[in-house]
Chains A and B, each alone.
Chain A
Amino acid sequence: MTRNATPRPVPVPTPMTQPFWDGAKKRKLMLQYDPSTRTYQFWPRACSVQTGKRNLEWKETSGKGAVYASTITYVPAAGFEGKGPYVLGLIDLDEGVRIIGNVINVEPEDVAIGMRVKVAWEKLSEDINYFAFEPDKARRK
């Protein structure tokens, strides 16, 4: 199916997700933290998936992790037309959550399971920095 070129989608924060995007603007990866079970979770929502309580806190995280799985996209999604093959990672952050992001500043074929990565930021608009990941040359967490 041929699509008319559309711009890459830019998130519109809601009051609930605003802290995530406020952090992103300062290039900080903020995640929701459940103090009663001491666990992080992603994607943002109003309640803990462990307890159902609405007592989540926002915490800055290391932004570091490892590739759990990756896929090179040869048929671009809406807003990515004309962008050559690009690679996405399912990233296991050291804080114990999994997050989907583009892996940038690397040849797509070089991304492999277990590879250490750190968060990187792509500026999508005046207010929105979008999270991505890039190889982390530092050896360990």
Chain B
Amino acid sequence: MRGNFLKDKDVCIVAYAETKLERRSGRTAYELSAEVAEALYKKIKMGPSDIDGVSTTIPMSEAANPFWANYCTDYLGLQPRWLQTTDLGGVSHTGNVARAAMALQNGWCDTVMLLAADAPTTAWSANYHAYHDEFLDPTGLQGPPGAFGFIMDRYAAQHDLDYRGLGALAVAQRNGAVANKNACEQLREKITVDDYLNSRVISSPLRLLDCVMPCDGASGLVMMKTSRARRLGFTKRVYPFAYSEITNFNVASQQPDITQTGHTVVGPEVLKMAKMKPGDVDMFHPYDDFLIAVAMKLEQIGFCKTGQGTQFLRDTNIGPKGTLPINTGGGQISAGQPALAGGQLNLVEAVRQLMGDAGRRQVKNARNALVTGIGVIPYGRNWGSSSALVLQN
């Protein structure tokens, strides 16, 4: 097993901020970043000249600009000595926590702002090329819902897929969105398991309420060395305690089992690094592009047996007062997915909870959280990048 460079808790998260999520905001990722940065300055009582490290994720709305991070930091008046752009999709955000930790530990910078902003419902400039132009787009496969249609179809053939378990997750996350004032207003309405079951099929057997809804939005975090955070009087500190990441799981196999993912590697590994068992996890904040992904990760990390993810969701209290609270702010499925900034939603909610700021959805006495990331859907496979991050307070 790899060494755990986070075990000493020598770096920490001291602040978080996020914008409201909105459909067709008419704003750019730069404007959204500025809103988040201002909120962070206010929280940490600092300004642009204090930020000497920045990490970003490439926004769909700015993907055609190969100098996104340069332009963004220029826009914000920042002069970073460490600047990182991560293009691992939904793995980028937990990934940037780990990368920022390494930059801080190695003295590249003292104060890192971790930005994630995207406005896909206002502008879209991504173009995947590679195999898409010749070997995928002409087939009419409908993007991620098409790919997850395959994954669910195969999962249902290999295992006992209980749609009521996915419905229970849809309902629990929607309750979280109702309690989350930053969630998309269109989604802040309670639903029932029957609403899920009766939602229209998009790409069989995938239903509308299995899916995320795209929106515009941004979020940010501030990290620094723990010694500095103490000196500066930051009393609310959340520590990244273990991190594991893998990209292109099973890459050379030409006929892989698409019900398996890199979380079979990083899930058990990150818990071992943290010296935890699944039962020790106080809250689970999994990246949720589709409901089935959450069920699969529960299995692959070890919360339940392979093939029992949907039964686990059906039989477990996953609300904020439950035995395993999941995506208490609604996750992306019920709050909205600001495209490539989306993964930071799950992460920010975990940090908010561990700082005790979650209000009426607060998980009592939560000491740790497990956050995951999913990035990229490769040709004919399950997700391409997998990450798992343990946070403690």
In-complex Cβ contact of B143 among A41, A74, A77, A83 (8 A): A77
| Chain A interface size, under 10 / 10 to 19 / 20 to 34 / 35 or more | 35 or more
- In this assembly, does A53 line the interface, its C-beta being within 8 Å of a C-beta of chain B? no
- In the complex, which residues of chain B have a beta carbon less than 8 angstroms from the beta carbon of A19? none
List CB contacts (< 8 Å) of B125-165 with chain A.
Answer: 131, 133-143, 145-146, 149-151, 153-154, 157
Q: Does B380 contact A (CB under 8 A)?
A: yes
Q: Using Cβ atoms and an 8 Å threshold, which residues of chain B touch A99?
A: 380
A44 to B136: give the CA distance in the assembly, Å: 12
The distance in angstroms between the C-alpha atoms of A14 and B153, with both chains bound, is 34
Contact residue among A9, A73, A90 (Cβ-Cβ distance under 8 Å from B138):
A9
Q: How far is the CB of A20 from chain B (nearest CB, A)?
A: 8
Known contacts being A42-B254, A113-B154, A113-B157, is A9 close to B137, with CB within 8 Å? yes
Are A79 and B157 also in contact (CB < 8 A) when A43-B135, A92-B255 are?
A: no
Q: Which residues of chain A from 46 to 83 have any CB-CB distance to chain B below 8 Å in the complex?
A: 49-50, 68-80, 83
Contact A11 B138 (CB under 8 A): yes
Closest to A39 in B: B254
Instruction: Using A70-B150, A77-B146 as known contacts, say yes or no to A96 and B255 having CB atoms under 8 A apart.
Output: yes
| A98–B251 touching, CB < 8 Å | no
Given A71-B146, A88-B141, A49 and B255 contact (CB-CB distance below 8 Å): no
The A interface, classified by DSSP as helix, strand, loop or mixed, is: loop
B202–A74 touching, CB < 8 Å: yes
Does A123 lie at the interface of the complex (its beta carbon under 8 Å from any beta carbon of B)? no
Instruction: Decide yes or no whether B332 CB sits under 8 A from chain A.
Output: no
Cα–Cα, bound, A70→B156 (Å): 11
CA distance A113 to B258 in the complex (A): 14
Min CB distance, B355 to chain A, in Å?
Answer: 37
Is B252 in contact with chain A by the CB < 8 A criterion?
A: yes
Q: How many interface contacts (CB-CB < 8 Å) are there between A and B?
A: 119
Q: Is the CB of A69 within 8 A of B140?
A: no
Residue tally, chain B, CB below 8 Å to A: 34
Q: Counting chain A CB atoms within 10 Å of each CB, which of B136, B150, B205, B251 scores highest?
A: B150
Q: Would A8 and B138 count as touching, CB distance under 8 A?
A: yes
Asked if A43 and B254 make an inter-chain contact with CB atoms under 8 angstroms apart, the answer reads no
The residue on B at minimum CB distance from A81 is B140
> A75 and B153 in contact (CB under 8 A), knowing A96-B255, A102-B139?
no
Asked whether any CB of chain A lies closer than 8 Å to the CB of B203, the reply is yes
| Distance (whole angstroms) from the CB of B191 to the closest CB of chain A | 20
Of A9, A12, A40, A130, which is in contact with the most chain B CB atoms at under 10 Å from its CB?
A9
- Residue numbers of A with Cβ under 8 A of B are 8-14, 17, 39-44, 49-50, 68-80, 83, 86, 88, 90, 92, 96-102, 113, 124, 130
Some 25 contacts from A to B, beta carbons below 8 A apart, are A8-B140, A9-B137, A14-B134, A41-B254, A43-B379, A49-B251, A50-B252, A68-B255, A69-B258, A71-B141, A72-B204, A73-B141, A73-B146, A74-B200, A75-B142, A75-B203, A76-B140, A79-B140, A88-B139, A88-B146, A90-B150, A92-B255, A96-B254, A113-B153, A124-B138
